[in-house]
Structure 1
Amino acid sequence: MTRPQSAEARRVRAAELFDQGRSGAEIARMLGVSDESVRRWKRVWEKDGADALRRRPATGRPPKLDGAQVERVRTALEHGAHANGFEADLWTLERVGAVVTRETGVTLSKASVWRLLTGRLGWSLQRPERRAVERDESEIARWIDHEWPRIKKGP
């Protein structure tokens, strides 16, 4: 048997196997989980049934931005910082927060902006490369091709 993809699928499959009278050790081996997990699931299953092993909706405060608002923000951010009125084409949490407020009317804290970027948008931190303005790529290539082998070879 192949291993189910989600934790909920493993728990639901365990409930089916409990109905079949399989042992806890056998279920644990079949699903690739610990014996303790199977014992815990069986206690829940015996008390409240198979539906108790299904995933429950997340608790807590609902997000301030709905899906449509998040997509408006994503579109605005994808146009770049210049297109959003910033001098340098670089995003900071403060700048993203300003775009969120302009696009949705909702003001978010820096922490909430970070969660929006990394969680709901799936983006990650990207730092720009620091390079000297005077950098001459052709001179660097020439040095690597001609000077470095001579230096490496030694006297």
Structure 2
Amino acid sequence: MRYAQGGGLTAERRAFRERLRLEAAAGFVRGDDNAAIARQLRVHLRSVQRWRLAWSQGGERALATKGPASYPLLSDELFAVLERELDKGPVAHGWPDQTWTLARIKTLIGRRFHKTYTVQGVAALLKRHGWSAQVPARRAVERDEAAVAGWVKDTWPQVEAPRRRSGPGSCSKTKPALR
């Protein structure tokens, strides 16, 4: 089963499902019918059929949990190395500008660690470690911060329309209208 957040089953949920499979194995030993086991365990008949097939081929060991569906490709130690590489900047790794993109980080992981991620996998990896998307502010090269600050302080108050004071207006429900 897949989840929208990209996760899988928790350890507790995997253990619960393994207990169900082992209870089904006890039913197989007793000679119970697949439909009866499915009703008793409140699972789908097809699941019991798959479990019986696995049990007949490998015994109870075949019904044991196999652990999480996937392990993270980059350990915490390797992610710390990746962070140091990202701190160096894209130019240090051969890109012409100072913008990190998910595709560039994916390429960096491939070059540095010989691991393959998808772009979505890189986004999930970064998010899992507290990184967020940053969009650079687009500013003109000729921008004069002192002139902008002066304009905001002196000119803008004259241009901006005065705000109305808050309070009951003429159509307020709290005051009856004068006639």
Normalised TM-score (structure 1): 0.54
Matches of 2:116 and 2:151 in 1, distance apart? 52
What does residue 148 of structure 1 align with? 156
Deviations 1:3-30 (A, max 9, x none): xxxxxxxxxxxxxxxxxxxxxxxxxxxx
| More helix per residue | 1
Normalised TM-score (structure 2): 0.47
Shift in Å, 1:144? 2.2
Structure with the greater alpha carbon radius of gyration: 2
Matches of 1:150 and 1:61 in 2, distance apart? 61
Matches of 1:124 and 1:153 in 2, distance apart? 37
What does residue 70 of structure 1 align with? 79
What does residue 131 of structure 1 align with? 139
Letter of the 1:146 partner, please give it: D
Q: Unmatched 5+ residue regions in structure 2? A: 1-66, 163-179
Matches of 1:132 and 1:117 in 2, distance apart? 30
Matches of 2:153 and 2:138 in 1, distance apart? 24
Counting aligned pairs with the same residue, the percent is 33
For the residue of structure 2 that corresponds to 1:114, the secondary structure is helix
What does residue 108 of structure 2 align with? 99
Compute the RMSD of aligned alpha carbons.
Answer: 2.4
Cα contact 1:72–1:103 (8 A) shared by 2: no
Runs ≥4 residues deviating over 6 A? none
What does residue 60 of structure 1 align with? 69
Matches of 2:130 and 2:76 in 1, distance apart? 14
Letter of the 2:134 partner, please give it: Q
